[in-house]
Structure 1
């Protein structure tokens, strides 16, 4: 398992925004507010991987897709990685008034001593006011 990084609310947010954690992804992860856009949900889900906030990852995953994995599998995978950075490449739709959105990104991580780039186009859907990660297509 990679060494654990310590994050404080005033730490830079792991999602790569120019904000601190408390003003960026942490309120979403803690349930104090709801991600208003597909991109903000994507960023907060990345941050949840870094912080090992598995319940948040589970709860922001479309319920009909959860059969593909378990909380334990997500925990095992996320904790086996040292998360090194997130780059958002493109966002299509996914604004507060939209019901669907796509976010293309690259997540950089180290696993078993090797650096990997995970490039994905994530598909998001909004039901009522909540955005959910639905699935992805290869970039």
Structure 2
């Protein structure tokens, strides 16, 4: 389901989805920072863009999941919000970076908070989700 403008992007920015994460998810633009990729991956979960989530996962760690597992996780939740807590590296000239975030979601009547420090790396010139940091 495409993100509709002029609605604000699900990633929490105050920008229309068409000017934010939709350009990565649906228009094929490459994220230029790890933070952009993190935000777009959250929006991908919100709108069920499973192929995008798969394609932006590092090939070196993709074996730890499957398209089916990503689909199950993304669609089992009602995604309520993203809060970026910290980021290090992951800029235009970096090859690695981390983003610490909190994602709030609901399953049934129960609200949950997922706290994660994610690692990102450049792979063939593109930012990719590598793994969560211990």
TM-score band w.r.t. shorter chain: over 0.9
Which runs of at least 4 in structure 1 moved beyond 3 Å after TM superposition? none
RMSD: 1.5
TM-score (norm 1): 0.91
Tell me, in whole angstroms, the C-alpha distance in 1 between the residues paired with 2:81 and 2:39. Answer: 11
- The answer to whether the 8 Å contact 1:9/1:26 transfers is no
Distance 1:122 1:37, change over 3 A: same
Aligned equivalent of 1:46, options 37, 42, 57? 42
- The answer to whether the 8 Å contact 1:90/1:103 transfers is yes
Give yes or no for the alignment of 1:9 onto 2:33.
no
- The answer to whether the 8 Å contact 1:102/1:121 transfers is yes
Tell me, in whole angstroms, the C-alpha distance in 1 between the residues paired with 2:75 and 2:123. Answer: 30
1:24-82 per-residue CA deviation (whole Å, 9 max, x = no partner) reads 00010014311000000000000000000000000000012111111111111111100
Aligned equivalent of 1:107, options 100, 103, 107? 103
Length, aligned pairs only: 134
Q: How does 1:48-63 map to 2 (within 5 A)?
A: 48-63=44-59
- Name structure 1 gaps, 5 residues minimum: none
Residue 119 (structure 1) aligns with:
115
